[in-house]
Structure 1
Amino acid sequence: MKEAGIIPLHKPSGMTSHDCVVRLRRMLKTKRVGHTGTLDPAVSGVLPICINRATKVAEYMSAYNKTYKATVSLGTSTTTEDQTGEVLDQVPVDPSMFQDLDQTLNRFRGEIEQTPPMYSAVKVNGKRLYEYAREGIDVERPTRRVKIHSLELIGSLKKNEETGNIEFPIEVTCSKGTYIRTLAVDIGKAFGVPAHMSSLVRTKSGPFTLEQTVTFEQLEQRIEEKEGLGPYLKPIEMALSLFPSVVVSEETERQILNGALLKETKELSNERTAVYNGRGECLAIYKPHPERPGWVKPEKVLKIQE
C-alpha cells in the first residue's frame, strides 16, 4: 500500500499552493495529493499537504486556526494590500504618530469584521474577486466575521529608510478566512494612514508548526535515497487531534469498517467525533444522524478494511 499521511511542507515564497501540489505529485508519483488551505505566492511557511488516503481529511484541516508573523507597513497602500501590489497612496509618517499602538491593536482582538481584498480567491456571483480585479471591475465585496484569537506586537517601530514607511512586526493567531493583509490595512485606517502588509510567514496550522516542516530539497533527497518519506510523513491521526475522540472495541471496529450506524452516547454526541481502535488508528469520523435521533453516522470512514 502506498505511503499515506500529512507532509508539513515549508512552502517557499514564489510558489502557489497549487504549484506545491503539482510538484509533489511528480515527486511522489501519485495523483492523490491535496493542500489544506491556500497560501499566497509571496507567503512562506507551514502548508500541510495530504498524501494518498490522508486526502480524506483535508476538508477538516482547512478549518484549523492559523498563526502568522507579519510586518505592518504604515504610510503606503497597495492594490493587493501587500508588498507585491502597485502603490495606491503614500503619505509621510513619523513614529510619534503611533504612540498608542498597543491600544489600537487591542481593537482588533476578538471577533472583527473584514472585507476581503479584491485580489483574493473569494467568489462573488460565481467568479473569483481577483478575476474582477484583473479586468478592472470593482464589485461589492461581502463583509465577513472572523476571530483574532491573539494579536501581539513582537518588535519595535522602525523606519524603513528605503520607503520612508514606519514598520512593526506582529504575531497573529486567527480563525479560518482571516486576511492578515486586510488586518494590516485596517490597522492603518485606525491611525488614518494608508498601510499594507510587507511580509508574512505562516508559523502554525492547527497542530503543525514551522519547526516540524520539511523543504522540497529534503524530500527530494529522501526519495533519491529510496528511503521512503519516513519521519517527514505525519500520521493522519495527528491531523484529527483537535477533534473529540473515543476508543471502541474490536467488535465495534468491525461494524464501523462496514459503515454501520452507532447508538449515540455522551462521547459520540459532538458535532464530529474521531473514532479510534485500541491500536491508536482513527477508523472514522462520526456525526449525529440528521434523521434518526439517538444515532450517529459515519461522515467518513478512514481505515481500509483488511
Structure 2
Amino acid sequence: MRLALVIGVCGLIVLALLMVPDLSGLAHWAVEQQRAFQNEMAGAVRGLRAGNPGATAALLTAAGAYGFVHAAGPGHGKYLIGGVGVGSRVSMARLLVIAVLSSLAQAAWAILLVYGGFALLEVSAQSVTTLAEDYLAPASYLVIGLIGVVLVWRGLRGLARQRTSGHDHGHDHDHDGACCGHAHGPTPDEVAALGSVRETLALVGSIAVRPCTGAIFLLVIAWQMDIRAAGAAAVIVMGLGTATLTGLVAVSSIAARGMGQASASRFGAAARIGPALQILAGGFVIWMSVLFLGGGVW
C-alpha cells in the first residue's frame, strides 16, 4: 500500500515536470518564435556578408535566442535530462554539466556534419538534411529508449532486492547493511552509476547525434556566403541557448526528485522511492522515444 501511494505521488511529480512544457499553446509559440529568429539569423548573415556594422552581434543574439526557444519546442533533450534527473541519484552539478555538454556536442556535430560534408564529400544541403532527419534522428530516439530501459531495469532490480531483504524500514539513515545484514537502498556504486564516464558519454551522445535543423540551416547559408567562422560561432552560441533551457529542466528535475523523496519519508517508504522514481522516469523516457519514432510528437 505504501509503495502504491509513493508511486502515485512520484507519477504526478514526473508528469507535472515533463508534460507541462508540451502544452499546445507553448508548442505553437515555440514554433513561431523559431521561425522569427530563423529569419533574423538569415538577415544578419546577409548583413554580415555585406559588411554591415553590428551584424555579428545580431547574428549571435538571434542564434542564442533560437537555441533557447528551440529547446522549449519539440525535442528529446529536455525529456532525457528531466527523466535522468528524476530517476537517478545524479547530482545537480553533474546533470547541469551533462546538459551543457550535450548541447555543445550537438552544435559541434552539426558543424562537422555540414562543413565536413561540403568540404570533404561535396554533398548537397538536401543530403545533409536528409541524413539528419531520416537516419540520425531515429538512431537518437532508439538510444534514448535504451537509456529509459536501463532506468526501468535498475528500478525493478532495486525493488527486487528490497523484497529479497524481506522488509522496508521506512526510515532514512546512512548505513550500507553492516548493522543488520542487508542494504537499505542503493549502494554507493549504484548512486554514482549515472555519473560514470561511460554513461555520461551515452547521455551526451544520444542527444548530440541528431543535429538541430536550425543549425544546419544557418551553417548552409554561412558556407554559401563564405562566412564560415561566423556561422560556426553562431551555432556554438545556439547550443548555449539550448543548454540554458535544458539546464532549467535539470534543476527542476532534481527539485522534483527531492519532493518525491520528502513525500516518501512522510508515508514511511523512503527506501523504495529511488526504485519507484527510476521505473516511472524510465517508462516516461521510453514512451517519448516511441512517440518520436512514430512521429506522434508535434
TM-score (norm 2): 0.24
| Structure having greater relative contact order (Cα 8 Å, sep ≥ 6) | 2
Structure having the higher strand fraction is 1
